[in-house]
Chain A
Amino acid sequence: MLELDHISYAVREGESELGILNDISLTIDAHKLVVFTGPNGGGKTTLAKIIMGLVKPTSGQIRWNGQDITSMSITERARLGISYGFQQPPRFKGITVRRLLTIASGNERLSKDQCCQYLTKVGLCANDYLDREVDVSLSGGEVKRIEIASILARNSQLMIFDEPEAGIDLWSFARLTETFEQIHAAGTATMIIISHQERIISLADEVIVVGDGAIRHRGTAAEILPKILADTTAGCPVLTKEGALK
């Protein structure tokens, strides 16, 4: 179980302080699939990074399976079973896909067959990719899928994915949603997925809408999707204002 207790995060902007997250409290039960959604700049990624330890909260407490992890490093959290798939993964000159999956799995003797399974789940063929370096020779979509495969190889208790669909083609996206469904059905991991995709939102046990640094709505996909549609702004409020285009 993951518990966030009065989490706030602010940055200094000149003399004043700018609140990015404001007093967020949240509990996610084990083996649930939760989707964070909401407008860009609303605080979803910051909240996810705070869980992984990539960002330190200004105040509040984080507990994972009852243990206070607020002051723990990224490495310590990773070793406690938390993993994080980056929205824009870094590239590594000289590190092959196979090496990255091996590091992720923590098993120095990770077999080709196991690598193949992880890559197939994100729509890549192991024969084409295992010995390739995770460098600029790969496209953005390829690097993104390898990033997701590294999280699958990690096989952790809490998997956080930041916009896994970004940069991925429709065919691979369908394969990816199947993979999320399978992990969820197996009931072995808790998943937090930051996503704007209806297909992923509809897989969720709970959807949390984050906006302006706070939780705006919580509920099932059936409850939340109509709210998202109702809140959708059709066009620019300034341009559509009477007289603005004249």
Chain B
Amino acid sequence: MMDTQVDRALLEKIADLLGKPVGAFNIRKDCSCDGRASTEHIKIDDRTDGHAGIDIRILDGTKGETCHIPVIITKSGVEETVYNDFYIGEDCDVEIVAGCGIHNCGDQTSRHDGIHTFHVGKNSHVHYSEKHYAEGDGKGEKIFNPQTIVYLEEGASIQMDTVQIRGVDSTKRYTKIVCGKGAEAVVTERLLTHGTQVAESDMVIELDGEDSKGRVISRSVAQDTSSQVFRPCVVGNAKCFGHVQCDSIIMGDAKIQSVPEIAANTTEAQLIHEAAIGKIAGDQLLKLETLGLTEEEAEDCILKGFLA
């Protein structure tokens, strides 16, 4: 496990792992399991339906535990679709750290499509973070197409933080969250594209239960000739509150399409959306230059802050 420098560097990038994870974990490397540990409260098993992937079962009342499930692809030409299902009991408070890193120095495409389904029990809270990162100077493309489906039962909540850092040639993301009574979903999406990369993100939050809440905060930077499309949608089917906020910085010859949508199917739904696309303001750069940064350092500082 974590044999090579490439493995260690990827795991640090995507999951902040500097050694063997604490608590339950499953490390997937080049289509097979590279290490696994269950705990008393978190059980990880292979799937039994023939699909690649794992089932993660978290017992009722599990609190303060973390589950790491990083994936690394270190070979060119590895393409996989992996199904991970999470069954989180009632009254839990857990952190799940996913993420995938690709190191592709060859000429063939490397692709990871992670299909994650969460069933979150009554009054449980899940903090789910997912980082995508790719590197390698070969001609082979590095592709991620993640799908995340979340079902929140009464009083359950999820804080979902997704970050695509650098090097990903193409991504097509789909997220769907269904909120029951009093459930709450907060999704923060951070994305940076450069070169000729393309990124697409479709998201639907269905506020089905009374007093449910949904919030989407999307921040992105598109550089060079890269292109991005965002379609976050919040649907209000009950007395609920939904807020969609998309902010993008556009640079070079990039293209960004931001299409936030809110849909109310009852008079009790209260929904708001905001979207803004703009370049880095000149006065922001000047201010940071008066603090001693060069123009390049100032730009970097603004982008890092924006995507933090």
Contact = CB atoms under 8 A, between A and B. Distances in A.
Nearest to A147: B287
Given A90-B281, A92-B284, A74 B302 contact: no
A111 to B, nearest CB: 18
A103 B281 CA distance: 18
Interface stretch (B34-42, B73-81, B86-94, B288-296): B288-296
Interface in A77-99: 78-79, 83-84, 86, 89-90, 92-96, 99
B284 A94 contact: no
B289 A75 contact: yes
A74 B219 CA distance: 30
Interface in A161-179: none
B302 A73 contact: no
B290 A103 contact: no
Contacts of A86: 283, 287
Binding site secondary structure of chain A? mixed
A95 B302 contact: yes
A75 B219 CA distance: 28
A90 to B, nearest CB: 4
A93 B306 contact: yes
Contact of A89 (B287, B293, B301, B308): B287
A104 B288 CA distance: 8
Contact of A90 (B284, B294, B306): B284
A32 to B, nearest CB: 21
A103 B286 contact: no
Contacts of B302: 92, 94-95
Contacts of B247: 93
A99 B294 CA distance: 17
Nearest to A101: B291
Nearest to B286: A54
Interface residues of B, number: 22
A75 B294 contact: yes
Given A54-B286, A84-B290, A75 B295 contact: yes
Interface in A121-169: 150, 154
A121 to B, nearest CB: 18
A70 B301 CA distance: 27
A219 interface: no
Nearest to A73: B289
A27 B19 CA distance: 61
Contact of A94 (B281, B289, B306): B306
A94 to B, nearest CB: 4
A103 B291 contact: yes
B307 interface: yes
A83 B290 contact: yes
A54 B290 CA distance: 9
Nearest to A81: B292
A95 B290 contact: no
- Chain B CB count within 10 A is highest, among A52, A74, A90, A96, for A74
B288 A103 contact: yes
B50 interface: no
B305 A93 contact: yes
Nearest to A153: B291
Contacts of B290: 52, 54, 74, 78, 83-84
A99 B305 contact: yes
A54 B285 CA distance: 11
A187 interface: no
- Chain A CB count within 10 A is highest, among B281, B304, B305, for B305
Contact of B219 (A84, A94, A103): A94
A133 to B, nearest CB: 8
Given A73-B289, A75-B292, A94-B308, A103 B284 contact: no
B302 to A, nearest CB: 7
A106 interface: yes
Contacts of B293: 75, 103
A154 B287 CA distance: 12
A95 B301 contact: yes
13 contacts: A54-B286, A74-B286, A78-B290, A83-B290, A90-B284, A93-B306, A94-B219, A94-B307, A103-B288, A103-B291, A103-B293, A154-B291, A154-B292
Nearest 10 pairs between A and B by C-beta? A94-B305, A95-B305, A74-B289, A90-B283, A78-B292, A94-B306, A90-B284, A84-B290, A104-B291, A75-B289
Interface of A: 52, 54, 73-75, 78-79, 83-84, 86, 89-90, 92-96, 99, 103-104, 106, 150, 154
Given A74-B289, A92-B302, A103-B293, 12 more contacts: A73-B289, A75-B294, A75-B295, A78-B289, A78-B291, A78-B292, A90-B286, A92-B305, A93-B305, A94-B305, A94-B307, A150-B291
